[in-house]
Amino acid sequence: MKKAFITGVTGQDGSYLADLLIKKGYQVYGLTRRTSTQNFARIKHLIHNPRLELVSGDLIDQHSLTNALHDVKPDEIYNLAAQSFVKASWEQPVLTGEFTAIGVTRMLDAMRLACPDARFYQASSSEMFGKVREVPQTEQTPFYPRSPYGVAKVYGHWITVNYRESFQMFAVSGILFNHESPRRGLEFVTRKIANGVARVKLGKQSVVELGNLKAKRDWGYAPDYVQAMWLMLQQDQPEDYVVATGQNHSVREFLELACQAAELDDWQAIYQHNPLYDRPAEVDVLVGDASKARRQLGWEPSVTFAELVTLMVEAELELERQNGEE
From the list ligand NAP, ligand F7E, none, pick the one residue 11 interacts with, judged by a Cβ distance below 5 to 8 Å according to partner type.
ligand NAP
Contact 244, 203 (CB under 8 A): no
Distances (CA, A) of 270 to 114, 192, 193, 264: 54, 13, 11, 9
Nearer residue to ligand NAP within complex by CB, 86 or 262 = 86
Residue 13 contacts ligand F7E per CB under 6 A: no
Contact 82, 8 (CB under 8 A): yes
Question: Which of residues 22, 54, 60, 88 is near ligand NAP by CB under 6 A?
Answer: 60
Residue 187 contacts ligand F7E per CB under 6 A: yes
Residues 245-264 that bind ligand NAP (CB under 6 A): none
Nearer residue to ligand F7E within complex by CB, 122 or 126 = 126
Residues 87-116 that bind ligand F7E (CB under 6 A): 87
How many residues sit in the footprint of ligand NAP (CB under 6 A)? 26
Distance, in Å, from the CA atom of 33 to the CA atom of 111, rounded to the nearest integer, reads: 19
- With CB atoms as reference, the residue minimizing the distance to ligand NAP is 11
Question: Which of residues 69, 123, 228, 303 is near ligand NAP by CB under 6 A?
Answer: 123
Residue 2: which of 174, 234, 209 has the closest Cα? 234
- Report, in Å, the least distance between residue 57 CB and ligand NAP: 7
Residue 229 contacts ligand F7E per CB under 6 A: no
Residue 116 contacts ligand NAP per CB under 6 A: no
Nearer residue to ligand F7E within complex by CB, 74 or 150 = 150
Q: Which stretch binds ligand NAP (CB under 6 A): 8-16, 161-169, 245-253, 293-301?
A: 8-16
Residue 39 contacts ligand NAP per CB under 6 A: yes
Question: Which of residues 3, 119, 157, 179 is near ligand NAP by CB under 6 A?
Answer: 179
- Report, in Å, the least distance between residue 102 CB and ligand F7E: 17
Residue 279 contacts ligand F7E per CB under 6 A: yes
Distance, in Å, from the CA atom of 225 to the CA atom of 221, rounded to the nearest integer, reads: 7
- Report, in Å, the least distance between residue 167 CB and ligand F7E: 26
Q: HEC states along the chain?
A: CCEEEEECCCCHHHHHHHHHHHHCCCEEEEEECCCCCCCCHHHHHHCCCCCEEEEECCCCCHHHHHHHHHHHCCCEEEECCCCCCCCHHHHCHHHHHHHHHHHHHHHHHHHHHHCCCCEEEEEEEHHHCCCCCCCCECCCCCCCCCCHHHHHHHHHHHHHHHHHHHHCCEEEEEEECCEECCCCCCCCHHHHHHHHHHHHHCCCCCCEEECCCCCEECCEEHHHHHHHHHHHCCCCCCCCEEECCCCCEEHHHHHHHHHHHCCCCCHHHHEEECHHHCCCCCCCECCECCHHHHHHHCCCCCCCHHHHHHHHHHHHHHHHHHHCCC
Residue 145 contacts ligand NAP per CB under 6 A: no
Q: Which stretch binds ligand F7E (CB under 6 A): 40-48, 52-60, 135-143, 206-214?
A: 206-214
From the list ligand F7E, ligand NAP, none, pick the one residue 137 interacts with, judged by a Cβ distance below 5 to 8 Å according to partner type.
none
Residue 158: Cβ within 10 Å count: 16
Residue 210 contacts ligand F7E per CB under 6 A: yes
Q: Kindly list the residues in this chain that would bind ligand F7E in the complex (CB under 6 A).
A: 84, 86-87, 125-127, 177-178, 187-189, 192, 210-212, 215, 217, 251, 277, 279, 282-283
Q: Kindly list the residues in this chain that would bind ligand NAP in the complex (CB under 6 A).
A: 7-8, 10-14, 31, 33, 35, 39, 58-60, 80-84, 99, 123, 125, 176, 178-179, 185
